[in-house]
Structure 1
């Protein structure tokens, strides 16, 4: 007993030392001084203990869990070795200030309501109690909020580090989509390019960027990547030239739709479902798998009469002529398309969901229909097959039906007859594959949820793999440019 008393006193003195340091440390700089605290405590033990072992004591602050520099196996279920991500602390003009005036971010819409709940949007309640699950995880999420949602998730990423030397990838939390959207109309190219050029200058002066000239950097946009690759410097040109700036030439952009350039990668549009637990996801998968579907196929959308190449008019014509086998929700005549419950109800009632090109090659509806367990029908490879290669099976026949656009333009094929030919066994197999995709195409709430891998975690994992490949090529003396913007993969557009 006599030998244990000094140890107790030592422990009490150490605790007192820690408390004194904490009381004199502001919350804002606590994390930055944690190693100073650790060293002080270690030196304290060295001074009072003849036979000592250096201790690695870490003061825990809520942010420490988000920005952990040294993650020990006993503290987390998984190791962060090779999975660390460093997030720049950008000046607020590059993110928070961009969305302050949220009512002007998009010319015809007030985005302020969509900013609620860290970008997830207002909560959705299903008063019918039959379409959605009553878990409180459904939100009226706007498709353009991806960059805000991604940044919030990154703040809670278990392997986020405050030490860039440990990082396998560098995340640039620039709100690129909202920066370009607020200036898309009635502005000069000088205005549209200004903030992107300032970001490029800021990055080029960072030691992290200089290590690989941006090859380990990535950013996220809630708009299609074409908005950042303006070719001309005429004011009539569309978008800005962010991704054509030399400083960004090696940086990877994750966006809802990619271009032909190798460093543009497509990741899923946000859906309405943002669960907090694995059980929620499993319960939803079980529900949509068992749902009885009254319609053979459906289309949620609006005609595009001014787009000559669009096949939407023919799709709508065939749907209306199907004598009740197709359900058409006309977004040009009703506001039901803005109601997540109504949209999900249509998709849950359908075996197949038609997904023609939208204003661009892809559309958010693809992911809403998959979330509902509805088998997507595509009419152009660039709508999904050549885009979301990190998420969808290479064999697209496992989860979807493909009908080439030209068949509809020539009116040489009936959508209904094509879908009727798919036998029930094949439909069951395809639906099971679609249901298996659900965890991969949703964005969970920004809090630790394991072990389900969602769209965010898959994107981060693949970025880290991509950077590792580049580093290996450099070590082997090969040119890593093939992975980046100097090369184009035109198959993405076919």
Structure 2
């Protein structure tokens, strides 16, 4: 439910439709001032309904974090500074032993999405410095990098203070007052659950940023969404950041023609606390199979998963890539497998089907295998047998679909722009604009836009929502 704070909660009576829709008037006046009639034809502004205004935040919320990159961690003692180069995509991978294509692959950290997204936004073709023209307002807060400094702190005030400071700053801005933040959005490079601590118990994980009244009125994009309606999932950043369309086409052709010697593969680390999950079963069955390759991400024998060459080499040689949930529902490995033309195998709807609604097909079995495992203790399935039972025709059709998804799940090099393909950034911006336009329509109809905007959906990640895929998951 939306907060009831009198300064934040919406009521239709409070809103002046002329104020809420002043951007429509501005568009019209801007169009009449700039459009030219040529031969009786009027050139329509191509950015009409697509303008985005970017807040110029105090540097403490973004650029200072990059300057102090040695204070940032990704849950370990790793130095994040090397990942900051090339506008957040990391250093170019120069010697991949013919596994990767040249000039398009980088050592990208999975937590760098907010930096990459911000730098891509700077090249967005419909930016405006006039917020009255904007259909959406972007908040370039590096939320994930910010809280990574404090997530393990026992002081809850320390954990929560950066988010509180940001919201105070936003709420004082004139841009906020127009729609009380419902036209604002931000991007986080960590999962949404890191921002949704529900109690003030020190042992509870994360910050309470997304439960603060002002934050509830914003849309947050993150690599894994929560079960609340104002969170949306967008793909993890991979290591592939092409600068030209031909680089994408060349890679797609190569993945279609790839020789695949393994039936299935799993890349991950064993977790002693996840013995009762399908993850443990996947590792056990993969190790016991002659047609499966297990990449132990906890090892240091040259197969460590931090090296994309090692992972992609095996994924490219595999027909299917197992994607069981780990610490959370989703995995960056989903997108690595798609990049490699390796058909993902899901065991829970929350791993992909309920997540990446703007980027992946609504019919999950077109591009993946779904083996629902509700209770691993009672599950007696054999992965090798199940996957061998899939027809060659179905396998080829799924791979064709997977390879076709590659442009949709990558972030092109932020220093350039693809001309033909829409990448993950383009699809995300389109999704945000459609969401905010839907809010404006509700307001125009005289309804309360806060109804349902930030409500929780307790059934979002339940198996029952995806029973349509369970009837015959292999057909």
For this structure pair, what is the TM-score category when the shorter chain's length is used for normalisation? Answer: 0.7 to 0.9
Once structures 1 and 2 are overlaid, which stretch shifts more, 378-387 or 120-129?
120-129
Query: In the alignment, is the contact (CA less than 8 A) between 1:174 and 1:220 conserved in 2?
Result: yes
Partner SS state of residue 353, structure 1: strand
Q: More relative contact order in 1 or in 2 (CA 8 Å, sep 6+)?
A: 2
Aligned pairs (5 A) from 1:255-270: 255-270=222-237
The alignment status of 1:333 with 2:299, answered yes or no, reads: yes
Partners of 1:150 and 1:250 lie apart in 2 by 21
Matched, 1:492 2:458: no
Per-residue CA distance 1:385-437 (angstroms, 9 max, x = gap)? 11111111111110000112246533411000000011111011000110111
- Contact persistence 1:299–1:354 (CA under 8 A): yes
Q: Which residue of 2 aligns with 1:212?
A: 179
- Matching residue of 1:347: 315
- How many angstroms does 1:375 deviate by? 0.2
Shift of 1:482: 3.7
Q: How does 1:86-485 map to 2 (within 5 A)?
A: 86-106=53-73, 107-129=76-98, 131-134=99-102, 136-323=103-290, 325-334=291-300, 335=302, 336-406=304-374, 408-446=376-414, 447-485=416-454
Moved more, 235-244 or 266-275: 235-244
Deviation at 1:471, TM superposition (A): 0.2
Q: 1:71 to 1:127 in 2, by over 3 A?
A: farther
CA distance in 2, matches of 1:492, 1:478: 29
Per the normalisation by structure 1, the TM-score is 0.82
Aligned partners of 2:45, 2:110: CA distance in 1, in Å? 32
Larger radius of gyration, structure 1 or 2?
A: 1
Equivalences for 1:76-91 in 2 at 5 Å? 79-91=46-58
Unaligned segments of structure 1, at least 5 residues: 1-55, 57-68
Instruction: Tell me the equivalent position of 2:16.
Output: none
Moved over 4 A (4+): 69-74
Q: Distance in 2 between matches of 1:125 and 1:333?
A: 24
State the distance in 1 between where 2:219 and 2:163 align.
15
Query: Aligned-residue CA RMSD in angstroms?
Result: 2.1
Instruction: State how many pairs are aligned.
Output: 423
The structural deviation recorded for 1:231 is 1.0
2:5 maps to what in 1? none
- Structure 1 residue 140: Cα displacement: 1.1
The TM-score with structure 2 as length reference comes to 0.85
CA deviation after TM superposition for structure 1 residue 159, in Å: 0.6
Contact 2:96–2:309, Cα closer than 8 Å, also in 1 = no
Q: Offset of 1:337 from its aligned partner? A: 1.0
Q: Equivalent residue of 2:64, what SS?
A: coil
